[in-house]
Structure 1
């Protein structure tokens, strides 16, 4: 991918948890749209496009430290920046 295309598509792996090594506040501020198995989702905690999985919170259950418990779902993942408007480049596995 060219540098311009790379800056217009979200990273391959991203997390909303500040303790994660895949947390990127600048990317999250832009707003990232996620489509999982063809359906747009807003409840994604973490995703990996190349790995083909997302993590979502498992109800209201939390661990003993108060962090939400998540489950890993496998399937095709697509991501895009919401601030680019219509016809935005979409990052997806080839």
Structure 2
């Protein structure tokens, strides 16, 4: 174990519901100090903006579509959700 590994704090437990949007009530800054991965229906996804493990859904951008404020349009996909630290 190197000195940089010893100085790194342990990651907090992953919440059941998490969002990458800082204005969301489900945003947890301490979690994003570490790299988070999402496995949806057995495949790792890199475009997940929000997830809920207990309800079994993720929100992802719907292609290149944008709303009038310039934010990507989001769609909710239902299935098996697994969150982990990389």
CA gap of 1:8–1:21, structure 2 versus 1, over 3 A, is closer
More deviation, 25-34/71-80: 25-34
Counterpart contact for 1:55–1:70, Cα < 8 Å: yes
* Rg comparison, structure with higher value: 2
Greater than 6 Å deviation, 4+ residue runs: none
Runs (5+) with no aligned partner, structure 2:
1-10
Give 3-state SS (helix, strand or coil) of 1:69's partner.
strand
Counterpart contact for 1:34–1:42, Cα < 8 Å: yes
Runs (5+) with no aligned partner, structure 1:
1-6, 83-94
Residue 31 of structure 1: how far off its partner (Å):
1.3
Counterpart contact for 1:33–1:81, Cα < 8 Å: yes
TM-score by length of 2: 0.81
Give 3-state SS (helix, strand or coil) of 2:49's partner.
strand
RMSD: 1.3
CA offsets 1:36-56 (integer angstroms, 9 cap, x no match)? 000011110100000100000
When the two structures are aligned, how many residues end up with a matched partner? 76
What is the alpha-carbon distance in structure 2 between the residues aligned to residue 10 and residue 78 of structure 1? 10
